[in-house]
Amino acid sequence: METYLNFSANNLWGEIWIELALCIGAMIVLGLGLLGGASKKTSGNFAILFQVVLLIVHLLDYLLLRHTFDRESFSGMLKHGIQQDIIRSFLLFSSLLVSILGQGFISLRNLRIGEFHHLTMIATAGLMILCQSQHFIVLFVALETVALCFYPLVAFDRESPKSLEAGIKYLIFGALSSALFLLGIVFLYGVGSNPIAWGASVPVSGLQDAFSFDGLYHLIIANPDHPLIKAGVVLIISGIAFKIGAAPFQIWVPDVYHGAPMPVTAFLAVSSKAAGFFLLMNLVNGPLQGMTSFLLPLLGFVATFTIFFGNLAACSQRNLKRMLGLSGVAHAGYLMVAVMASMILPGSSDRAIWILFFYLFTYLLASFAVFGVMGIAKLEDDSEHEMQHYEDLAKKKPWAGLTLVIGIGSLAGIPPLAGFIGKLLLFSVAFETKLYLSIVAMVVGVVISIYYYFGWIREICFTPRPVWDDDPPKENPWIESEHFSLIRPTLLSLALASLIFGLWQGPLGDAF
């Protein structure tokens, strides 16, 4: 009885009030959307306002009140602290931007607004729990909750065959990645079910649990060379590599990005990738810390292969959504270098984590600026964004052209934009930890990326080629619409933030 009382006392629901509030708000949004009529748009406005208030309250909560120290809840299944609060703020901000982009996009195509915002908010709550998990059961349930939200979101444009096709592909590959992840957990638990495997240094008791991160840490320390443990770790890393789009598990990325609605593509590119890397960082510096010598060469190969494959494959793309998907694969390789740096020197771990946060934030600003401008292009088929649709955009719609150029430049790492600082910080931490081969791969990758990024900028800024009589008429998608009234100030703010953080990092610079 005392054990159950102690377990209940650790159920600190107040520690996950943000996730609970998101779920309650999602239910209200769904209810408003089901009322029909004019209230359909009201549900979207409520979702945006609700997330704005929630983000402000959360920032005030952990900046001014109590969330500045590490603590646990639910008997150690969840961990809270400054890093977890930052990633929660990141995910909530990303969810807000997805809702803003989705409001106009979904209204223009006459899709269901309430369901879109509902799924977005539930997925964000699941990603937050995922980033705070310290137990594989909680982690897997959160991971599947997120996946069950993303499957319908990817196929949300029911009138588009490519969106439905992307949903099927994401379902198949998502199920495969979940199976690999779960099989890895089973291998680890199978080894941990044998009391002898824990070693004499760990007391044999009912508290030993290979599902918990703390228990797995002790299990790996006692058995660093066990073949089943190594196989389990490789399978878990493979499952995460699917989620973040790291090669050779990136095969789904261009197809899903191509077919998914534009706001969902941005959601996958930013939130899903950020949560995956935060989880990977927690694992390699937590329960998997005893296998650093085994994991470093593996992650080094994955990072290098990912950088080269993403950039080289993007060079041949004319479809911009596929190109951005493959460039996102390359960015996953850059972020993998920060994960490796955090594993090498104890003193570099915190610095590498802060650099990872900064890079993710700059990636958020640039990605949403780019996808936001693409989302206002009223093409008959949202999946067919070609270079020719952006010819001379700087003259046709100057604010959109400027925002797009700043976003693309930040993704490319061009000074004085925030993306340049993010890449520079990655180079510095890689040099500090002597990851020289990774530095060479990043330099070559950045040089290659200039080709396709600047090809797009050329189309935006310069006069298009002469039009011949036999050329087919081009679709002009850059027409003002009342559905995008909130988009312009949002995208211009993102572009301005990319410029400001490229010139001045403020208090964040002290952490680097």
Per residue in 407-430, pLDDT (tens digit) is 999 999 998 999 999 999 999 999
CA-to-CA distance for 106 and 297, rounded, in angstroms?
44
Q: Is the pLDDT of residue 464 over 80?
A: no
- Domain membership of residue 24 (yes or no) is yes
Parent domain of 48: 1-154
CA-to-CA distance for 180 and 248, rounded, in angstroms?
14
HSE at residue 164, side-chain half, CA atoms within 13 A, is 4
- Domain membership of residue 364 (yes or no) is no
pLDDT of residue 4: 43
Per residue in 243-272, pLDDT (tens digit) is 899 988 888 999 999 989 999 999 999 999
- Domain membership of residue 194 (yes or no) is no
Tell me the average pLDDT of the chain: 85
DSSP single-letter state for residue 475: P
H helices present in 35-81, as ranges: 39-60
Contact 294, 230 (CB under 8 A): yes
| Cis previous bond, 195, omega within 30 | no
- Domain membership of residue 123 (yes or no) is yes
- Domain membership of residue 376 (yes or no) is no
- The values of phi and psi at residue 80, to 5°, are -125, 150
Beta strands in 317-448, from DSSP E residues, in sequence order:
none
Q: What does pTM read for this prediction?
A: 0.92
- Domain membership of residue 143 (yes or no) is yes
Which residues is 135 bridged to in the sheet? 212
- Domain membership of residue 142 (yes or no) is yes
pLDDT of residue 275: 94
Give helix 292-315 / helix 436-461 axis angle, nearest 10°: 20
- Domain membership of residue 303 (yes or no) is no
pLDDT of residue 317: 87
Number of structural domains the chain divides into: 1
